[in-house]
Structure 1
């Protein structure tokens, strides 16, 4: 932990509480629940882990929000539960089959990183752009991940979106005989001036540090040249490795050879090619979705650029060009990250127990200052009419996702970091913007992929069952449950789910009640991604399985 965090006891305390809550949610969902060791006695959820009784005041339904500190029973007395004790209980419970000597360190590192981020963000003002402010608001990270702020590498803080970072990109010149790319990446040429015989390639400065040894030879022999820093400050978005470059109004998705939560975040060669291929194939799909569901938007990834210097540098220097949300939202509409809305009523810049500071806006969105297109700065919280707001939200997000799968054989990945909600001047949802083609897949057998390289085609497809599981998990379990919990506060989400059921039933009727939707609305159990299990097994994120959870859409 840096001295910045150590100098802030409040940040350390918030990080500890958040770490306990995240790991405890995982334990309820993935360990105690499937083993029949969870029961609900309002206002508590009670569970048993490694023979120890635990409890927490809970609300928010499936989102499992906690009020106050979770506790454990010691000699007949309830005591505050620490992250270290909870880790030991997890190790005792899961270690019977196979141990994991990395797990405790990962949880501790995530907690320390969170404390550092909380302390650091008090010192720097957020972006004036309400969309970018929302991108940098995911302070606590994934609520159902055992180490949501685990971050590899050194010097990460100066590139952290949660700390309101901004920095100039590094510009490289790639000699034209080793230039790699596909699609339309011409916007990159507007970032600066490359000498004759070279093309511009922006690079993430952190990635250049990580690749320094591999870059020495091509920089020495002229295949690459260092053109210095870009002229504008790029702003990292919620994924850390994707930044917004204001000079060209584009988002740029870089490789970072570090582990962030579950994965090393690099653009594999087949993902570079796949992004361009998917953008081409999805254009008519989204034209159809926008016609059927007005307000549906997406962010194409029309091209990528890299250097043909072996696989490591091809992937390591690869950058995917993505359109910005301001370029697709209509005038007067402000895009906000769904994950920031789900983070709670405290809004951008605040975390539970954190004292609001002058550097933070009072809520997600209402940040003073000019924004692209003259869009108004709007407040997303509080909501005057939660039911009306929620109905509009579900109508914007859910039907196009379901129709993409059922009508087009396209698996969108609408988790909270992949969806932006466009709100009007009243803060009412009027558009949904879907992004990040890495998780978007085509249903096998419904698309002709015969002309693609085998590895690209493989990476672009899911079988029908896997695709449906991914859609339902991301849309309902990861996304709508968290938005509903934040909207309801400590109150009941029951009325909100009744409204969501009405919206989905209306859509199902328009499609003739296909079997997947009939099962969903009849109360079939839902798949929830097992983040704790995949971390414990030290497996790749793509190997993550699911556990079943209760379905809040079940009818009376």
Structure 2
């Protein structure tokens, strides 16, 4: 199953064999891809609590524990529209993030350097295979998702896909716009866990037909699937849209960005309860929020063989009125977010809905993939759509205080810890979706400043305004394999852009 990370030269060699027409374009995209990944890495070095960075001084200059000094441009932790092209380690210039990480020679750095090299190569490949830009907005939901070429806006492993050959990236990566043929594996109903309603078309007598991604079938299950289904990959790669039907979330036991994308038995067991709870939340949102329903979920009691069938977010757009629904991560492809007025309107909608939910006891993981927005014919933000409830956080204490029935949930989803709840929402929504849409700290700060005076002054809002903004320390997590769970850091508050302690 494991395959060495693909360095730039290996990708070029494979590309010459499978798509020789892209070789020159790939080479031309490499410098920009290195800068894009270096920008994300420099942000991490400047703001994450990495144990081998002893001091950060204005300039900025980072002093390492061994006495070396790392110098780069002043970092904007919320920037997505400008690139860092070079940083200096003890006076030596680096434009390649993988080479920089190798020469830093920190614990676990060599493995991370290999991932960075893979991220650069895959990003250059993704950019090389893009069509000429068009002014028309997409028609199908998967077309919006396939516009997102660069992946995670702040993670240095934004396009890291170890285990995927060049041919597999072209065949399965959503930004390459393929049609993917899913297979299905028959499993006895008595050997499976099923929640919700598993459709008749995915049954064969007393057996369930569990949709399987072709990569998973080849590399993990070591078998081909039956009853093929043609589907379009969405931005998460493992979730695909069936034309005219639901979205299918498949198990994919490969490390993409940071996580191995399997589907736990725990999440299958909770899926129906969470789906019903999502409908309750949407009903209390004054029409501003829809939550996609989980139609059915099944697992052969293994995270490697499981699938979830979910409503398409398109369900919640009035197409006759010209409405469109698209992931927040795709907003930057529309041209809309560059208007301060539009950005303030979208920020207002997102904060009103999500802060109200947080006060009630639910912290959404509202990053640009899970959170979608319904736009009017003219592009005005009307409503939100949320999908994939598997990693929200729910506070029974807050729910009870609001008179909301507490669902029968267990495990990591359940917590009354205020810091955990606020990190989940603020890190995904403000430091993620809103920052990625704004494109800079100045634009994000202006949008927040225009909106927050209108919002109820709840303890959660005060924490958002007065404390450093929490975000996952993604590079620290990759360099700390001995630590389990999420690690966090605090970014300068976008309203004041002054550094704060990193433990908030």
TM-score bracket relative to the smaller structure: 0.7 to 0.9
**Post-superposition offset of 1:180:** 3.2
Instruction: Give matches, 1:471-550, under 5 Å.
Output: 471-485=425-439, 492-493=442-443, 497-508=445-456, 513-521=457-465, 523-539=466-482, 543-550=485-492
- Considering only aligned residues, what root-mean-square deviation do their CA atoms show, in Å? 3.3
Whether the 8 Å CA contact 2:196–2:296 is kept in 1: the answer is yes
Q: Name the structure 1 match of 2:4.
A: none
**Post-superposition offset of 1:242:** 0.9
In structure 2, distance between residues paired with 1:51 and 1:74: 6
Cα–Cα, structure 1 residues 538 and 195, in superposed 2: closer, same or farther, change >3 Å?
closer
Q: Name the structure 2 match of 1:320.
A: 308
Is 1:88 the equivalent of 2:102?
A: yes
In structure 1, distance between residues paired with 2:407 and 2:424: 26
Q: Name the structure 2 match of 1:466.
A: 420
Of 340, 350, 354 in structure 1, the residue corresponding to residue 330 of structure 2 is: 340
In structure 1, distance between residues paired with 2:299 and 2:497: 51
In structure 2, distance between residues paired with 1:197 and 1:470: 41
Of 176, 183, 194 in structure 2, the residue corresponding to residue 163 of structure 1 is: 176
In structure 1, distance between residues paired with 2:406 and 2:378: 48
Of 43, 50, 69 in structure 1, the residue corresponding to residue 85 of structure 2 is: 69
In structure 2, distance between residues paired with 1:554 and 1:74: 31
In structure 2, distance between residues paired with 1:205 and 1:99: 31
In structure 1, distance between residues paired with 2:246 and 2:254: 23
**Post-superposition offset of 1:416:** 1.4
In structure 2, distance between residues paired with 1:396 and 1:538: 38
Of 383, 392, 396 in structure 2, the residue corresponding to residue 431 of structure 1 is: 383
In structure 2, distance between residues paired with 1:299 and 1:35: 46
Whether the 8 Å CA contact 1:528–1:546 is kept in 2: the answer is yes
Cα–Cα, structure 1 residues 539 and 319, in superposed 2: closer, same or farther, change >3 Å?
farther
**Post-superposition offset of 1:499:** 4.1
C-alpha deviations, 1:86-108, integer Å up to 9, x for none?
A: 213543xxx3xx44441221211
Q: Name the structure 1 match of 2:393.
A: 441
Q: Name the structure 2 match of 1:281.
A: 277
Secondary structure, in 3 states, of the residue corresponding to 2:72? strand
In structure 2, distance between residues paired with 1:83 and 1:144: 14
Instruction: Give matches, 1:243-258, under 5 Å.
Output: 243-247=240-244, 249-258=245-254
In structure 2, distance between residues paired with 1:243 and 1:127: 20
**How many aligned positions are there?**
466
C-alpha deviations, 1:109-163, integer Å up to 9, x for none?
A: 2222222323344599999535322312332222332322222324431111122
Whether the 8 Å CA contact 2:313–2:385 is kept in 1: the answer is yes
Whether the 8 Å CA contact 1:54–1:70 is kept in 2: the answer is no
Instruction: Give matches, 1:15-94, under 5 Å.
Output: 15-30=33-48, 35-39=54-58, 47=62, 51-56=68-73, 62-63=78-79, 65-67=81-83, 69-72=85-88, 79=93, 81-91=95-105
In structure 1, distance between residues paired with 2:154 and 2:263: 25
Secondary structure, in 3 states, of the residue corresponding to 1:115? helix
Q: Name the structure 1 match of 2:32.
A: 14
Secondary structure, in 3 states, of the residue corresponding to 2:374? strand
Q: Name the structure 2 match of 1:406.
A: 359
Whether the 8 Å CA contact 1:159–1:165 is kept in 2: the answer is yes
Secondary structure, in 3 states, of the residue corresponding to 1:398? helix
**Post-superposition offset of 1:204:** 1.7
Whether the 8 Å CA contact 2:324–2:375 is kept in 1: the answer is yes
Secondary structure, in 3 states, of the residue corresponding to 1:426? coil
Is 1:234 the equivalent of 2:252?
A: no
Of 292, 305, 315 in structure 2, the residue corresponding to residue 299 of structure 1 is: 292
Cα–Cα, structure 1 residues 195 and 133, in superposed 2: closer, same or farther, change >3 Å?
closer
**Post-superposition offset of 1:451:** 8.9
C-alpha deviations, 1:442-488, integer Å up to 9, x for none?
A: 11544699995xxx6013213332111211111211122221226x9
Of 193, 198, 206 in structure 2, the residue corresponding to residue 180 of structure 1 is: 193
In structure 2, distance between residues paired with 1:85 and 1:337: 34
Secondary structure, in 3 states, of the residue corresponding to 1:63? coil
In structure 2, distance between residues paired with 1:250 and 1:124: 28
Secondary structure, in 3 states, of the residue corresponding to 2:297? strand
**Post-superposition offset of 1:439:** 1.6
**TM-score, length of structure 1 as denominator length:** 0.75
Secondary structure, in 3 states, of the residue corresponding to 1:316? coil
Of 489, 494, 499 in structure 2, the residue corresponding to residue 552 of structure 1 is: 494
